[in-house]
Amino acid sequence: MRRSRDVVVVALYDLFRRRGFEGASLSDISEATGLGRSSLYHHFPGGKDDMAAAVTDFATEWIGKKLLAPLKTDAPIDARIAEMLAATRRMYDGGATPCLVASLIISPGLDQKSVVRIRNIVRDWIAGIASALTANGLPGDEARRRATSAIIAIQGALLVARACGEDRIFGETLDRLQQELLS
């Protein structure tokens, strides 16, 4: 079966965030994408490293459009933060879906280029929140501290919610973040 590369990348994104880079075997990848080995290497000549690069590029683009772009609008700051948090809730399916960053960054076999891409996703998210807060009058150091704390809270809440099997933990954390970022 011939599948577009974009469809394959979305399937890989879901697989890598659920299984990690090391945990996704070639048979898992074939099953998730519906492609055999030769078709996979046609799309990704460098193998899993190319797949990881494509997935991190996809995640970077999605986060840029859905999480960071709302922070750059002329809407009131509370609306911008609310939209970013709503997109965060959707991205993690209310706390039920694992984080790609967390799943990949712990993979010892991940190539250095993908590690840099993963780091940039987190750095860009922090910078986007901090920039919105600074544009709203918060001093730069305080904006960066709040933005960093927000990402730590999001990632920690996701982990705890998944570990406890209680998605509400994630949702409640996102609800509090709106107030904490703007207080």
pTM of the entire predicted model: 0.91
Mean model confidence pLDDT for the chain: 93
Burial 126-157 (b: 16+ CB within 10 A, else e): bbbbbbbbbeeebeeeebbebbeebbebbeeb
Alpha-carbon distance values, 147 to 112, 114, 134, 141, 182 (Å)? 26, 23, 10, 10, 11
Q: Which of 106, 70, 102 is nearest to 85 (CA)?
A: 70
CB 39 within 8 A of CB 22: no
Per-residue pLDDT, 107: 84
Average the pLDDT over 31-36 and give the result: 92
Which of 1-15, 53-67, 144-158 is predicted least confidently? 1-15
Residue 2 has pLDDT above 70, yes or no: no
Query: Residue 173 and residue 125: Cα distance in Å, rounded?
Result: 17
- 99: confidence class by pLDDT, cuts 50, 70, 90: very high
Per-residue pLDDT, 54: 95
CATH class of segment(s) 55-182:
mainly alpha
CB 84 within 8 A of CB 129: yes
| Range list of H helices, 45-107 | 48-63, 77-91, 100-105
Both tokens assigned to 141: 């150091």
Position of tokens 């406890």?
164
